[in-house]
Amino acid sequence: MVLHRLLLEDINEWERICEKLNEQNNNLKVPLENNTTTLHQFNMDLSDLFTEVNYYFGKARRNKDAISRIIENVLKDLYKGQNDLARKAAGIQLAQRYPVPDTAKPYYPEDFVNLFELEDQINAYYYALDAALKSLNHKASAKITNNSILNIERSLLPSS
């Protein structure tokens, strides 16, 4: 059932989601002017985007782990062959033309799927979302640094 679930993932939808989140991330700038209004707005925008990216990252991680387990099991299975290389080659060939489960055939148009290509597609959106999370964490750190500098500057100014 796991492969069935993976085959039903809409790769085009994942690409749209990753592009949209990447665009939102690129548009989210650490405020140049640090005051309570700009920092509050930035915190809200950062939190909202982080929550959305993290939600999709969790789904992507689940899919990445699932396809990795499927491929690992296919490659580790015992195949007929004269030696280890022949048995390994048989596993690779099976992974390249893995039979689509009957339950997925009404929704997936092919009889076979290349597990390595499926893994590549799944990894693409996993790593895109991973990069987005790292960027958002960096922006959060930059905001904290800017806020700290602002507080230090205020403490150095003479009181009126």
Three-class DSSP labels, 51-119: HHHHHHHHHHHHHHHHHHHHHHHHHHCCCCCCCHHHHHHHHHHHHHCEECCHHHCCCCCCCEECHHHHH
User: What's the average model confidence in pLDDT over 121-148?
Assistant: 87
- Residue 31 reports pLDDT greater than 90: no
> What per-residue confidence (pLDDT) applies to 152?
62
Report the DSSP pairing between strands 112-113 and 98-99.
antiparallel
- Residue range 141-147: average pLDDT? 67
Mean of the pLDDT values across residues 59-88? 91
Return the number of other C-beta atoms located less than 10 Å from residue 11's C-beta: 12
Residues 23-28, mean pLDDT to the nearest whole number: 96
Confidence bin at 130 (pLDDT 50/70/90): very high
| pLDDT exceeds 70 at position 28 | yes
**What pLDDT is stored for residue 156 in this prediction?**
67
With a cut of 70, say whether residue 144 has pLDDT above it: no
DSSP state of 8: T
pLDDT at residue 121 above 80? yes
- In the predicted model, is pLDDT for residue 148 greater than 70? no
Give the mean model confidence (pLDDT) for residues 39-58.
95
